[in-house]
Amino acid sequence: MYDIPAPMLAKAVAEIPDRPGLSFEPKWDGFRALVAWDGTDVEIGSRGAKPLTRYFPELVAAFARLLPEPCLVDGEIVVAVGPPGAQHLDWPALSQRIHPAASRVALLSTETPAMFIAFDLLARGDRDLQAEPFAERRSQLEDLLGGVPDPVHVTRATADAAQARRWLAEFEGAGLDGVVAKPLDLPYAPGKRTMLKIKHARTADVIALGYRIHKSGEGVGSLLVGLYDDSGRLRNVGGVAAFSNARRLELVDELAPLVETDADGAAVTGATDRSRFSAAKDTSFVRLRPERVLEVRYDQLEGDRFRHTVQFERWRPDRDPQSCTYDQLETVGAYDLADVLQ
């Protein structure tokens, strides 16, 4: 079996670079996966320490059946939902696939089967390709997997920055979350941020609903924020984190006048819903009166919540909390996933 390295990573940049020597790809919103097939066994490594092999038995079977020869492939595991002609990636359906019960894993492998999107080739047979430039690895990837059917796909790629900008605008409607730029002349660099990623940058005015204490036990670890829906209900839409040590302590004092208290003067607390990713985490938070507005930066909406942790931009004392509604969020046009996979 091949030794599975740490995946090569990407650093964020504000816009698609327009210079020669780059290959652009859609940025898939799924689980990063390095697939090793030695001709007998399949192993699926992840970006973290947890192997993914047991959670995707349908992909393990597909790799053993479809991969033409032993290889080590870098890519993304995704789940698509929707009828033909209107399919899109679905993060909640994908996240449900990580389940401790073997019976549940087996059921979901048929109810929400996954696909694998290949975008790099690290080894082919006895040949280690990691030291080769990406241009060669991409050529080898297309030669090896270009004719392999669903659920294995080779990601689209272009050297045209204008085409990449169109992808950035259009493919979000199919559930993708940006574009990746890869230098054609660089070798594979495990754990290094040698690729570039361009994601959608948007802002929204949201209401501070509460805060969690930092894991150190001191200061604000994250702010919970919300928006009003069409019925006037205030909904939790995500969290704001990444404060400095000093700022975490300052926020406790800043937010103290907004803390809800009970009849005895004690702070009122609540708890957010747990997921299998937060099962071991403290989900309690200190409730705040919904009176303070802040502007945040976000990249994508997933259902009625922000897809990722959002970034604090500034306080907005000029904004009325009642004006913080979903209406301000950009609506993304639908785009069929099948057109991205071509």
Domain CATH for 111:
3.30.470.30
Query: Does 298 reside within a domain?
Result: yes
Which whole number is the average pLDDT over 27-35? 93
Contact 118, 152 (CB under 8 A): yes
Q: How confident is the model at residue 133 (pLDDT cuts 50, 70, 90)?
A: very high
Q: Which of 155, 171, 199 is the last residue of a domain?
A: 199
| Angle between helix 102-111 and 57-66 (nearest 10) | 60
Q: Which pair of tokens denotes residue 226?
A: 């919300």
Q: Does 78 share its domain with 129?
A: yes
Cα radius of gyration (the chain): 22
Which whole number is the average pLDDT over 254-260? 94
Query: Residue 229: which CATH number?
Result: 2.40.50.140
Q: Does 192 share its domain with 87?
A: yes
H-state helical runs in the chain: 57-66, 91-95, 102-111, 134-145, 161-170, 245-255, 337-341
Domain hosting 131: range is: 9-199
**138: three-class secondary structure by DSSP:** helix
Number of structural domains, the chain?
A: 2
Q: Which of 178, 199, 220 is the last residue of a domain?
A: 199
Q: Does 138 share its domain with 195?
A: yes
The structure tokens 């574009």 sit at 179
Q: Does 166 share its domain with 242?
A: no
Q: Does 221 share its domain with 136?
A: no
| Per-residue pLDDT, 275 | 44
Which whole number is the average pLDDT over 160-182? 92
Question: Is residue 290 over pLDDT 90?
Answer: yes
Q: Does 168 share its domain with 223?
A: no
According to DSSP, the residues that pair with 228 across neighbouring strands are 234, 325
Q: Does 135 share its domain with 66?
A: yes
Among the listed residues 11, 27, 215, 281, the single catalytic one is: 27
Top pLDDT among 207 and 95 is at 207
Lowest mean pLDDT, pick from 59-68, 96-105, 156-165, 273-282: 273-282
Query: Does 256 reside within a domain?
Result: yes
Q: Does 181 share its domain with 249?
A: no
Give 15's DSSP letter: S
Which of 4, 11, 3 has the alpha carbon at shortest distance from 195?
11
Q: Which of 156, 181, 199 is the last residue of a domain?
A: 199
The yes-or-no answer on residue 192 being catalytic is no
Which whole number is the average pLDDT over 321-342? 82
| Per-residue pLDDT, 73 | 98
Q: How many CA atoms lie within 13 A of 19 on its CB side?
A: 8
Q: Does 217 share its domain with 116?
A: no
Q: Give me the percent of the chain exceeding a pLDDT of 70.
A: 96
277 to each of 23, 58, 160, how far by Cα in Å?
34, 22, 38
- pTM for this prediction: 0.74
Q: Does 176 share its domain with 247?
A: no
Which whole number is the average pLDDT over 57-86? 96
Q: Does 25 share its domain with 108?
A: yes
Burial class (CB in 10 A: 0-12, 13-18, 19+), 126: exposed
Q: How confident is the model at residue 281 (pLDDT cuts 50, 70, 90)?
A: low
Which whole number is the average pLDDT over 67-79? 97
Question: Is residue 279 over pLDDT 70?
Answer: no
Q: Does 228 share its domain with 193?
A: no
